[in-house]
Chain A
Amino acid sequence: MVSDEKLVAAALDGIDGAFAELVTRYQDRLLRFLLARSSSRADAEDAVQDTFINAYRYLASFDSRWQFSTWIYRIAIRNSAKQRSLHRYEPEVEVADDNDPLDACIAHAEHENVWLAAKRLLTDEAYAALWLRYVEDLSVKEVASALGRSSAWTKVTLMRCRRKLGEELNATERPPLGSESYG
């Protein structure tokens, strides 16, 4: 399989279909990630679209020393933050719990989906750090880069996320957590 970075180079060289392949690879992953950060599914879909547009527009600024996933998630995080700041001054609309876009996309399982608990308990940044580290398998350094934070901050945040979620899950389920070292 062609690497993301090679596809970026091909897209920059004007090869048809190279960027479309990147869109195919990342569209579902980005939507899944953005669902937790948006107030509705429509907003999440708009954020996905904006992310790809910005990525395409500024593709030449992509630094190939980094993974493409780090870069595109960074754009997605910025887009969703911008979207939220735009919506901040609009009249607030009451949203019932069962209309949560993330909740609506989660199949009802025996236990509560840990990401719903994460959304409830963690800040946006901490949620993003946890997602990028465990779902996208980015290194601590790459997560820090995507969030524009230091590695030390990222390590501490991840540790606190685990502890917080662990306490929450321990209250309802058997203890799921072990210790893990970062670095």
Chain B
Amino acid sequence: MDEFGKRLKRDAAAIRAKVPPELRARIDASLVGVTPVHSAGRRPEAAKLWWASSLTGVAAAALVIAFVNWRSHGPETAPVDVAQGVTVPEHAGLAVPPALEFRTADFVSPLENELDRLRSDIEKARESLRKDLDFTF
């Protein structure tokens, strides 16, 4: 610690701050009436059971894998002639699907707009930070 640090410590020690017995008695008396709040975060029993959740996770994963394997090795069905199963409505040939004329810009422009907005937000945040720093220093 440098000289200034020692000076700070020395001068702090020169402050006469002795808690009088009356105050101590007051503190002790007030503590008697206080009920400690038990934090939800302090659960040593739960900490000891960490393996239970891991075991459950492993068991669930094993079940899923087994099920998927069973499905993939199940009895194969006979190939179906797709053309037979499909019935084409009579008016199908008449209906003209709407023209899907999308340009690349249609897909890209919303993203570009979003990017512009993000850039603008970053610039505002940077400006705000710069102002704060100017104010602080």
Quote the shortest CB–CB distance from A51 to chain B (angstroms). Answer: 9
Given known pairs A57-B35, A58-B37, the reply for A115 and B4 (CB within 8 Å) is no
Say yes or no: B39 contacts A60, CB within 8 Å. yes
Q: Is A148 an interface residue (CB 8 A)?
A: no
Say yes or no: B8 contacts A134, CB within 8 Å. yes
> A27-35, A79-87, A88-96: which one contacts chain B?
A27-35
Say yes or no: B19 contacts A28, CB within 8 Å. yes
Q: B residues within 8 A CB of A156?
A: 136-137
Q: A residues within 8 A CB of B30?
A: 49, 52-53
Q: Is A1 an interface residue (CB 8 A)?
A: no
Taken together as a complex, chains A and B put the C-alpha atoms of A58 and B30 apart, in Å, by 15
Taken together as a complex, chains A and B put the C-alpha atoms of A178 and B6 apart, in Å, by 12
Q: A residues within 8 A CB of B36?
A: 12, 56-60
Say yes or no: A177 contacts B39, CB within 8 Å. no
Taken together as a complex, chains A and B put the C-alpha atoms of A153 and B135 apart, in Å, by 13
Total interface residues in chain A, CB < 8 Å? 41
Q: A residues within 8 A CB of B76?
A: none
* Interface 0/1 of B1-24, CB less than 8 Å to A: 111110111011011111100011
Q: A residues within 8 A CB of B7?
A: 114, 176
Taken together as a complex, chains A and B put the C-alpha atoms of A131 and B28 apart, in Å, by 27
Taken together as a complex, chains A and B put the C-alpha atoms of A180 and B12 apart, in Å, by 20
Can you report 24 residue pairs joining A to B where beta carbons are below 8 Å apart?
A20-B28, A27-B19, A27-B23, A27-B24, A28-B18, A28-B19, A31-B18, A35-B15, A35-B17, A45-B19, A45-B23, A49-B27, A57-B35, A58-B37, A61-B41, A105-B16, A105-B17, A106-B14, A106-B15, A106-B16, A113-B11, A113-B14, A131-B12, A156-B137
Hey, which bits of chain A sit against chain B, CB under 8 A?
Answer: 12, 19-20, 23, 27-28, 31-32, 35, 45, 48-49, 52-53, 56-61, 102, 105-107, 109, 113-115, 130-131, 134-135, 153, 156, 162, 165-166, 176-178, 180
Hey, which bits of chain B sit against chain A, CB under 8 A?
Answer: 1-5, 7-9, 11-12, 14-19, 23-24, 26-28, 30-31, 34-39, 41-42, 136-137
